[in-house]
Structure 1
Amino acid sequence: MTVSIIGTGQSPYTRHPSAGTTTSQIIARAVSKALHDAGLQTSDVDGFAVSSFTLAPDHAIDLAWRMGLRLSWLMQDTNGGASAGGMLQHAVRAIQAGDANVIVLAAGDLMDQAAFSRLVASYNKATEDHLAPLPMNGPNALFAMLTSRQMEQLGLCREDYGRIAVAQRQWAMDNPAAVYRESLSMDQYLNAPMVATPLGRYDCVPPVTGADAVVLVADRSKGTPRAKVLSVKASYNSDQQSDDGLATGLQACATNGWEQAGIGPSDIGLACVYDDYPAMVVAQLADLGILSNQDHPADFIEHRIATRLLPVNTSGGQLSAGQAGAAGGMHGLVEAAAQLMGRAGARQVTARHAVVSGYGMVLYRYGACATMSVLEAAQ
């Protein structure tokens, strides 16, 4: 049985949430929009999954109750940027097993400055014990070191990363939901204040408040635009935090993901990869096999990404659209599905297949969770 995404929704991203805004409200808004996009109502939903850092003290069941959902399948994921892929993997299996017929996946967070500061200070025990006392003030310093290592290994320079940031900003200019829509030049990128050398301001994602959601069903009859899920694979603790971080968990699951999908990297017309930093865009494209061993990374960036020959992160990605906490991974899934269903507006591309990656939970040095999903346009 094939499972498809038939609706997407987003609660507007903002850097300045209104007083009184709650995490439950913004997630519920995204769910409502996704159901409307799918032509369904809450009474049609019998499965629900959510990921959020700021939903507490509520849980998935509390949120389902507040939205009036009566369910036969329920899940709460805690794996941050990899949560969307993890929830998608379980939801596909649930529909195939007959545990639910219509499943909504949602992720979102209320990320004002206070909430963000609390999150980075107490992300996990390793952060509390080893990183917060330095003080690290979040992951920027860790990924500055990783970026420096990647620059040396792959022969990249700041201009190469700048081409990724500038290209994604150009996509964001056609995305009314992006928080940063003004143009970004290479000079602006290079001359922006340094955050943690070699990372400048535009190498780092802006934390935002917002939420994203998708609606999954068993494959429907012809005439319904949908994004068929061809494969979902995941990898957890692939290197036990002991490697150099330049290879993600995608390296461990990509081969199986492509085999299950029945296509290869060269068949992809759209890539939505988790972009907490430009270096991670490069790393994930390489691990997925899209940036092959025969490609020179700098040439690939300049001639494939910057020229839009390969559309990458057409929403603007998190670097320009914003990172809404645990919705970071769901953001790419929503964008890929919207593109394949022909609902991306001015930034619409022509693609039959898309790949979406998730990367999350920096336990101590690098992200410990990775997911890849391959989708196909159908109607």
Structure 2
Amino acid sequence: MITGVAESPYARHPGSNVTTRTVLVDAARRALADAGLAPADIDGLGVASFSLAPDHAIDLAVSLGLRVRWLMDSANGGASAIEMLQHARSAVEAEDAKHVLLVAGDRLNPDAFVRLVDEYNSATRDYLSPLPTGGPNVLFAMLTQRHMKRHQIGREEYGKLVVTQRSWAQANPGAVYREPMTLDEYLRAPIVADPLSIFDCVPVVTGANAIVVSGEATGSAVRVRALKALHNHDGQDGDGLDTGLGEIAPELWHESGIGPGDVDVVSVYDDYPAMALVQLEDLGFADDGDIRRLIEQRLATRELPVNTSGGQLSAGQAGAAGGMHGLVEVVGQLRGTAGSRQIRGARVGVVSGYGMVAYRYGACANAAVLEKIV
């Protein structure tokens, strides 16, 4: 179960004294305090970061003064948080550890970000960077074009999702962008890669998130009711308009004993609006395939609370912390600590992870159903 969560404040322009290590350590200490635990209580550590190198999880353990029996480095981007949760859950169930600290985050200065984008993997380095494509925006612009054609929707539909998430962000003091946004402002925004505008592309920020996974409840704990993963589900031979979540969703709901209609709050990995919608459809929140109806009748009206922190599109994407941001938000909602954006009576939440562009789109996908312990 999850016994502690925290976020090291996100910043668009961090001070010169802020490093990847400092934000990871800050998030870790905040999560320990939230769980009511001391460093001596922690015997497991998992870390996800693009910019901690050349250091690894063991180096962060030294910085935090941790003696651990279970150690993990994750390198799967937006899927890292739930991947680490999957393994940490198994560790505490097997009694390999009692309390596992999981932390994810980055500080990517402009030069480091360019290197990350250009050398993300060998496919990017060898085939995309020489063009140059300028990063994943071009790939997901093409995917968005395919999504628009499949569902016969336009930029206005994506704009309604983005504007709704910005309205959620207004109630999140930790969101980097909280200014109100209208649909007209969205539609008039500069195009980055047609049809993506600046508001469709996650803003890069500095920050970190952390959670504590324990074998026994301490304080206000949240139970992992079900967790499933499927990576490289199509060998990159598909069109990117499903994430693998569609294949694991029946198992996820069967194991949890509930269905999409029983969920009170949702977080999906929103690197781009189309991908948020793809994951919602894969998970069964648009089982009739009518994406326009999902947007207009459920998302824009807040009938279905999705990405209540503002998501990465408004709160920011702190590198590898992006996949953990929604996990921390949903746990907060289930614990009743989300402030003025709190969903009344929230008891069950679902969180998805997605990422790691292999050639044309993300190859990793996972999801967890979380439940408030009454």
TM-score relative to the length of structure 2: 0.98
One-letter amino acid of the structure 1 residue matched with residue 136 of structure 2: P
Q: Distance in 1 between matches of 2:256 and 2:293?
A: 28
**2:41 alignment counterpart:** 44
Q: Distance in 2 between matches of 1:371 and 1:167?
A: 24
2:122 pairs with one of 121, 125, 139: 125
1:296 pairs with one of 273, 277, 290: 290
SS at match of 1:301: helix
**1:368 alignment counterpart:** 363
Offset of residue 291 of structure 1? 1.5
1:330 pairs with one of 316, 324, 332: 324
1:97 pairs with one of 90, 94, 97: 94
The answer on 1:195 being equivalent to 2:189 is no
The 5-angstrom pairing of residues 1-379 of structure 1 reads 4-220=1-217, 224-292=219-287, 294=288, 296-350=290-344, 351-379=346-374
SS at match of 1:135: coil
One-letter amino acid of the structure 2 residue matched with residue 266 of structure 1: G
Contact 1:272–1:314 (CA<8 Å) still a contact in 2? yes
Contact 1:73–1:100 (CA<8 Å) still a contact in 2? yes
Q: Distance in 2 between matches of 1:231 and 1:220?
A: 17
Offset of residue 134 of structure 1? 1.2
Q: Distance in 2 between matches of 1:245 and 1:287?
A: 12
> Which blocks of at least 5 consecutive residues in structure 2 are unaligned?
none
One-letter amino acid of the structure 1 residue matched with residue 38 of structure 2: Q
Offset of residue 92 of structure 1? 0.3
One-letter amino acid of the structure 1 residue matched with residue 357 of structure 2: V
Matched positions, count: 373
Determine what percentage of the aligned residue pairs are the same residue: 56
One-letter amino acid of the structure 2 residue matched with residue 135 of structure 1: P
Offset of residue 112 of structure 1? 2.2
Contact 1:141–1:196 (CA<8 Å) still a contact in 2? yes
Contact 2:167–2:180 (CA<8 Å) still a contact in 1? yes
Offset of residue 288 of structure 1? 0.5
Offset of residue 295 of structure 1? 5.1
Q: Distance in 2 between matches of 1:142 and 1:246?
A: 12
One-letter amino acid of the structure 1 residue matched with residue 19 of structure 2: T
SS at match of 1:236: coil
Q: Distance in 2 between matches of 1:162 and 1:319?
A: 12
Task: After superposition, give the CA deviation of every residue in 1:216-247 in whole Å (9 maximum; x if it has no partner).
Answer: 112428xx322110111111110111100001
SS at match of 1:255: helix
Contact 1:16–1:112 (CA<8 Å) still a contact in 2? no
Query: Runs (4+) of structure 1 moved beyond 4 Å?
Result: none
Q: Distance in 1 between matches of 2:24 and 2:256?
A: 30
Q: Distance in 1 between matches of 2:361 and 2:58?
A: 31
Offset of residue 40 of structure 1? 1.2
Q: Distance in 2 between matches of 1:226 and 1:158?
A: 40
Contact 1:112–1:208 (CA<8 Å) still a contact in 2? no
Offset of residue 249 of structure 1? 1.7
Q: Distance in 1 between matches of 2:244 and 2:206?
A: 28
TM-score relative to the length of structure 1: 0.97
Q: What's the Cα RMSD here? A: 1.0
SS at match of 2:237: coil
Offset of residue 259 of structure 1? 1.4
One-letter amino acid of the structure 1 residue matched with residue 15 of structure 2: S
Q: Distance in 2 between matches of 1:156 and 1:241?
A: 25
